[in-house]
C-alpha cells in the first residue's frame, strides 16, 4: 500500500469512527439517570466497595455524556457492575471512549470486546443499541491493532448474531 492508499484507509477509518459516534448518540439517549447505579449500592459504606462507590458517585444524577473521562482510566471495566437499568443509561460513555486511539491499544476497548462474549446485560439493550454495539465490534474486528482483540470481537459478533446473550 503506498502512502496515498494509507491516507485514504486512515481517512475512511476516521469517517467510520465518526459515523459510529453519531450512531451511539442516536441510539443511547443522553438523559439524567437517578436510579440505582451498581448492584452494590446498598453496601457503598463498606470499604471493600471502593470501586462501586467511585462509580456510583461519578454517575449518580448524570447523563452518559457527562461521565468524567478520568473514570475510564481507573475503572475501564466497571460498566459490568451497573444495574440492568443503569447499563443502557451509561454504556454509551464506555462505547465512545473505546473509539479513542483506534490505531493503538485501548484498555476500555479490550474489556468491552471481551465482555460482549459473555455479558448477560447485553439483553437489556434495545434493538438499535444492540445494532450499534455490533457495528462497533465489527470496526474493532477489522481495525484493532491487536490480534486477540480482533479475535474476541469476531467471537462476540458470532454470539450476538446467534442470539447468545
Cell representation of residue 142: 477489522
Contact (CB, 8 A) for 67 and 17 = no
Predicted local confidence at residue 10, as pLDDT = 46
Grade residue 74 by pLDDT with cuts at 50, 70 and 90. low
Which residues, at least 6 apart from 77, have a Cβ–Cβ distance to it below 8 Å?
108, 111, 115
Q: Which of left, alpha, beta for 3 (phi over 0: left; psi -120 to 50: alpha)?
A: alpha
Q: What is the pLDDT of residues 118-158, one digit of tens each?
A: 667 788 999 999 999 999 999 999 999 999 999 999 999 99
Predicted local confidence at residue 11, as pLDDT = 58
Residue 34 CB-density burial (10 A; 0-12 exposed, 13-18 middle, 19+ buried): exposed
- Reference 63, options 30, 38, 96, 97; nearest CA is 30
Grade residue 7 by pLDDT with cuts at 50, 70 and 90. very low
Q: How many domains does the chain have?
A: 1
Structural domain including 52 reads: 3-161
More confident of the two residues 15 and 7: 15
Whole-model pTM?
0.85
CA distances from 116 to 58, 125, 151, 158 (A): 23, 12, 12, 10
Amino acid at each position: 500500500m503506498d502512502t496515498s492508499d494509507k491516507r485514504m484507509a486512515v481517512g475512511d477509518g476516521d469517517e467510520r469512527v465518526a459515523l459510529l459516534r453519531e450512531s451511539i448518540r442516536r441510539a443511547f439517549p443522553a438523559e439524567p439517570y437517578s436510579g440505582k447505579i451498581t448492584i452494590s449500592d446498598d453496601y457503598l459504606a463498606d470499604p471493600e466497595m471502593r470501586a462501586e462507590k467511585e462509580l456510583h458517585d461519578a454517575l449518580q444524577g448524570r447523563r452518559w455524556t457527562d461521565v468524567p473521562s478520568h473514570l475510564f482510566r481507573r475503572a475501564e471495566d466497571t460498566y459490568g457492575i451497573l444495574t440492568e437499568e443503569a447499563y443502557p443509561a451509561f454504556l454509551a460513555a464506555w462505547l465512545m471512549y473505546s473509539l479513542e486511539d483506534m490505531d493503538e491499544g485501548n484498555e476500555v476497548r479490550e474489556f468491552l470486546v471481551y465482555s460482549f462474549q459473555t455479558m448477560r446485560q447485553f439483553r437489556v439493550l434495545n434493538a438499535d443499541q444492540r445494532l450499534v454495539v455490533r457495528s462497533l465490534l465489527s470496526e474493532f474486528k477489522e481495525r484493532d491493532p491487536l490480534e486477540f482483540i480482533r479475535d474476541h470481537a469476531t467471537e462476540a459478533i458470532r454470539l450476538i448474531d446467534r442470539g447468545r446473550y
